Chain A
Amino acid sequence: MLVASFLLILTPGCNNNKNSDQKQSEEVVTVDSIDQQLIKDVKAVKEMFYSMPSPLEVAMILKQADKQYNRELLNSLNNTSQYVTTKSRALNLGIYSTDLSYSSLYDQTQTTINYINAAKKMADGLGILHAIDNNTIQRLEANVNNRDVILDIISETILNSSSFFKENNREAISTIVLIGGWIEGLYIATKLARENPTQEEINTCEMIARIADQKMALNTIMKLKEKYPDNQHLASVISEIEELDAIYQQISINSSQVVPVRDSTTQVTTLKSETTLTMTPQTYKQLKEKIDVIRTKFIS
């Protein structure tokens, strides 16, 4: 109770943001071998967290992989009144939260304010007290030219929701919110990436690489399913996700050993490794279609 190595080329919907500059101040950090004491401790782990990407994180991944913004991809604000069940409100709290986070990163202030109002309706419907209140919206309006403040306000609203659910032993609902936001991110990503990519484009497009990376987030979702086996709303959402998981199993991601290299000037460590992604155009097409189907169900 207490709790691919990617040789990136510039193509539409793809982006190469890698910085290959080597810094002289870097030092390789020795990777310790497997810590035996730690393995003993693991047997007695009191609290286990499985953390999915938050809506804000999803939006940052989208912006890092592609610089385009497309307002048309967001869930319509006219849909808010049709979400009357716990499941649909939780899913669309996540979906609207990703939409508003995505909009805020492109300084679409009015859209951000409109979508935070939509998220507020979902949160109110779920009984989340004070997650998003009128003061939150006033603060957003007063800081339209200050993206850092806006991002901080969005972060705070997400924290208010997730902590509320934990405090009230409704963490399964919090998981549904995160799944909603995650699917919205995947939907936007597939729409921003090239529609019918060739094998070469699949191998080189950063956005497609990030879509493939979500195989790892799926592992987390399956762990969360085990953690909350008795919640029918979550079970119903995960039954949709399991079909997506079956397609993701056709994707292979192989990584080399991670080598931490610390920059002694910035104190930032780079986790160096190479990753090889294997995905056919057919698998990508299936993936894209399934994401479309799931997202349509979630917003309907």
Chain B
Amino acid sequence: MSKLYHVILVFTFLMIVSVSGQAQCKHFAKQVCKKELTPYIHNGNYNAAILTEGETAEMYKTFYSQQNYRIYICESSVMPRIRFQVLDLNRNVLYDNKNNGYKMKWDFVPESSHQLIISLKVEDGKNGEDGEPISGCVAIMIGIKE
């Protein structure tokens, strides 16, 4: 009974941490990240997650012919730098922010419609004061322009 109680307690704690993290992430995306897309308009889709250093995330998305796009990778300030790449479906690299001073924004116009992959990795090596890996909110923001 005591074991069951502890399992429920730990599960509840993890749920609260997760929901709380998501709520902070949502607030961060709305209040901080969205502004950086100007003069592009955010497409409205929410793609954010809590990532820890060393972790990766990917987004598959179709980008349409002759549309003006801005990709902006937004991270909370405590996080180590993020390497972000845009790849085609054969995983050829079309953009790598490592070759561009780790800029977090990329503006582009596809001549034809393509499915592309946005791949990002939180780099290692900036543990917190307690020696634990740092976690934080990372949002992939897609801006569009008329």
Contact = CB atoms under 8 A, between A and B. Distances in A.
Interface in A100-132: 105
Contacts of B65: 206, 209-210, 213, 275
Contacts of A178: 45
Contact of B49 (A29, A31, A46): A46
Given A45-B56, A216-B115, 16 more contacts: A32-B92, A35-B91, A44-B56, A49-B60, A50-B60, A51-B59, A51-B60, A61-B64, A154-B44, A159-B45, A216-B113, A255-B112, A258-B92, A272-B111, A273-B112, A274-B111
A210 B42 contact: no
Nearest to A253: B113
Interface string B15-31: 00011011100100110
A246 interface: no
Interface of B: 18-19, 21-23, 26, 29-30, 34, 41-51, 55-68, 85, 87-88, 90-96, 106-115, 119, 121, 140, 142, 144, 146
A178 B30 CA distance: 19
Contacts of A270: 108-111
Nearest to B30: A159
Interface of A: 1-3, 17-18, 29, 31-35, 38-39, 41-42, 44-57, 60-61, 63-64, 105, 148, 151-152, 154-159, 162-163, 166-167, 178, 206, 209-210, 213, 216-217, 219-220, 223, 255, 257-258, 260, 266-275
Contacts of A275: 65, 112-113
Contact of A61 (B41, B48, B67): B67
B49 A274 contact: no
Contacts of B114: 216, 255, 258, 271, 273
A33 B92 contact: yes
A50 B49 CA distance: 13
Nearest to B121: A41
Nearest to B109: A270
Given A158-B44, A162-B46, A49 B59 contact: yes
Contacts of B23: 167
B15 to A, nearest CB: 9
Q: 4 closest pairs, A vs B, by CB?
A: A158-B44, A275-B112, A47-B57, A49-B59
Instruction: Tell me whether chain B's interface is mostly helix, strand or loop, or mixed.
Output: strand
Contacts of A48: 57-60
Contacts of B18: 1-2
A32 B119 CA distance: 15
Contacts of A156: 30, 34, 44
B44 A49 contact: no
A29 B91 CA distance: 16
A81 to B, nearest CB: 26
A213 B115 CA distance: 10
B58 A49 contact: yes
A73 B146 CA distance: 22
